[in-house]
Structure 1
């Protein structure tokens, strides 16, 4: 338990973190990686370069400071982050390292304003917060391990099949190297893929949504090849160009808190995606078709053009098997207007055709796309608890997202 004095000090310094948070976390990551370069095998280098990880951590630290006397309010955020940590292989021994360098960064940035009393209070608070994360993550490790066919850490898998889905997206069917089965997962969850790339000093880990309904034989991920000059493309380019059928890669157990509510078997559902955000929606759609084919379901997908649109024939086939299913394709710049229902961007008029205030909506895609869609769903009258969404990468504040990019191929 934290003393009231510690709570008061932490809460009184929270406004400073709101202003200096990203500066503090930037110094934190720089110093930590300098002292512990081995941690670069875990953290996403691209999110570091783009500043997303620093901002996400700053927001988390600020929220923890604000709620230090009622940490239960942070539990949903803790669980979301813990899913990421478990899929990356974050362990209890990493937390003292993080704490040491986070406190050091606060002292470095704030200077004399960070008195010994303030640093001691933050050290006590960090210990409590770290304990919460460690406990939640251990529960997740145990749950993943105790599932039928489950496992705790990364496990060797083999690429059983490689299928090109569009000009930019390729599916990889992954089977356990030991010949066993794969554990069950919730439709919409992701796995981490860890690869060693020739010429690269560190291993690279990326999360990819599972793009098919559960079956005991394999995981399927469908990966968009990013531009080679884009730092984010180093792993996707390696998977597309170097990984072939028979290649071995390491995979984590499924994780994530963005998934289809399978308990709602009759209520209307809309799966709304932009670009490669289609991947978790395919898992959800296939699950609906197999388990609740009578459920009213709309599949709304936006992409740039026909060439980059994935799974079109698969979606059409699934819709034929649903009693009350409808698909809507929006292409920003169609080569043939007859190949889509609408050209341009997702609009309120389009969404209103498929969504009402009782529809359970799932949204995934580039952040600007999600911001536009979520704002529109709220205008239509959907309550927040009906809108489920997931970011690819660290969580972001939608209010800060630039809407200049509506969809991504």
Structure 2
């Protein structure tokens, strides 16, 4: 699809989502260079420091907020219209530049590349904190707000057609679900492509998600995750966990939620040293504990990929 037609497609879809048609995607300007904004040299702090050694695209792209929903009491999901040249791989994040806010945010995309191709938008789910970018999203961001973004990160799933099939094991803690949800949605797109392309093999043999949060209300995207599992019952599975054992569990999820942390026994069921590729994202203590367990189960170190965000 050419850039003009792609942008027109995005306009049609996004103005439908925004009250009063206030979003005008045709107003999105061309990507700016890092030289013009000089963002990476003058504003290097927090997220930029932590990810200084990670790969990044050169271009900084404009974006416009075209939808905001409360994913939970503490998490807002943003829908952002982006420039037609914007691209990313499932699992990557963006440097998030907010006009008037000195601190640069770093947020993993919770949408998949397929949504970008179909509708010209990306999505971010951000937890409320006192960190300036997150605080802006929860207190000042509105439909029509403009931001700039630059894609980065070496934590992604982007198989080539010639790559051998893998068994994906995704382990998420809290809002660490964001990049793994992006990967899950991307694998679902790959599986759908396999269904519609006779004889085409998929790069994914199976996917299992282990997802833990303090309580069931903080299990983001749970309905959508369940739908993917139901759509591909022989390929995709999930175990939800709540770690605060005294909290009430959503009655609709009683049968699918485990109390307590992800166990070695659960991981053992989904680990094959030669086929499994594991992606981890969550608090550092969880990442370290799960990584140690996977190594003890015989999974090679180079097949354990992780992203630590706090």
TM bucket (normalised to shorter chain) is 0.7 to 0.9
1:353 to 247, 256, 269: 269
Separation of aligned partners in 1, 2:139 and 2:164: 41
Structure 1 Cα separation of the partners of residues 226 and 40 of structure 2: 44
1:116 corresponds in structure 2 to none
What are the ranges of 5 or more consecutive residues in structure 2 without an aligned counterpart? 1-38, 193-201
Aligned to 2:23: none
Cross-structure match for 1:248: 146
Question: 1:340 offset after TM fit, Å?
Answer: 4.5
Change (3 A) 1:43 1:342: same
Matches within 5 A, 1:50-129: 81-83=53-55, 86=56
Q: Does residue 1:317 correspond to 2:227, yes or no?
A: yes
1:175 equivalent among 81, 85, 101: 81
Question: Are the counterparts in 1 of residues 61 and 86 from structure 2 also a CA contact under 8 Å?
Answer: no
Contact 2:47 2:104 survives alignment (8 Å):
no
- Residue 222 of structure 1 corresponds to 125
* 2:218 aligned with 1:308: yes
Q: Does 1:387 align with 2:304?
A: yes
Q: 1:211 deviation in Å?
A: 0.8
Instruction: Please say if residues 80 and 256 of structure 1, whose CA atoms lie closer than 8 Å, have aligned partners that are also in contact.
Output: no
Q: 1:39 to 1:374 in 2, by over 3 A?
A: closer
The 5-angstrom pairing of residues 1-400 of structure 1 reads 41-44=42-45, 46=46, 81-83=53-55, 86=56, 140-141=57-58, 152=59, 154-176=60-82, 180-197=83-100, 203-214=102-113, 215-216=116-117, 217-226=120-129, 228=130, 233-252=131-150, 254-263=151-160, 264=163, 266-292=165-191, 295-322=205-232, 323-333=234-244, 334-336=247-249, 338=254, 340-357=256-273, 358-392=275-309
- What is the deviation of 1:80? 7.3
Paired with 1:302 and 1:367, the residues of 2 have a C-alpha distance of 14
Structure-1 separation of matches of 2:47 and 2:61:
24
When normalised by structure 2's length, the TM-score is: 0.73
Confirm or deny: 8 A CA contact 2:54 2:154 kept in the other structure.
Answer: no
* Equivalent residue, structure 1, for 2:17: none
Q: C-alpha deviations, 1:381-402, integer Å up to 9, x for none? A: 1111111111226xxxxxxxxx
Larger relative strand fraction: 2
TM-score normalised per structure 1: 0.56
Q: Is the Cα contact below 8 Å between 1:274 and 1:301 reproduced in 2?
A: yes
Shift of 1:308: 1.4
Structure with more of its chain in helix, by fraction:
1
Over residues 314-344 of structure 1, what are the superposed CA-to-partner deviations in whole Å (9 max), with x where a residue is unaligned?
1011112223111110100241282643211
Cα distance change, pair 340–80 in 1 and its aligned pair in 2 (3 A): farther
Q: Which stretch of the first structure deviates more once superposed, 257-266 or 317-326? A: 257-266
What is the deviation of 1:359? 1.1
Question: 1:123-173, CA deviations, whole angstroms, 9 ceiling, x for partnerless residues?
Answer: xxxxxxxxxxxxxxxxx53xxxxxxxxxx2x33211011121122221111
Checking the alignment, whether the CA contact within 8 Å between 1:274 and 1:369 is kept in structure 2 is yes
Q: Retained in 1: the 8 A contact 2:170–2:208? A: yes
Given that 1:193 and 1:206 are in contact with CA atoms closer than 8 Å, whether structure 2 keeps it comes out as yes
> How many residues matched?
248
Once residues 315 and 182 of structure 1 are traced to their aligned partners in structure 2, the CA distance between those partners, rounded to angstroms, is: 29
Equivalent pair of 1:265/1:292 in contact (CA under 8 Å): no
The alpha carbon displacement at 1:266 in A equals: 2.6
Q: 1:285 to 1:182 in 2, by over 3 A?
A: farther
Tell me the distance in 2 between the aligned counterparts of 1:349 and 1:302. 15
Computed over aligned residues only, the root mean square deviation of the Cα atoms, in angstroms, reads: 2.5
Deviation at 1:277, TM superposition (A): 0.6
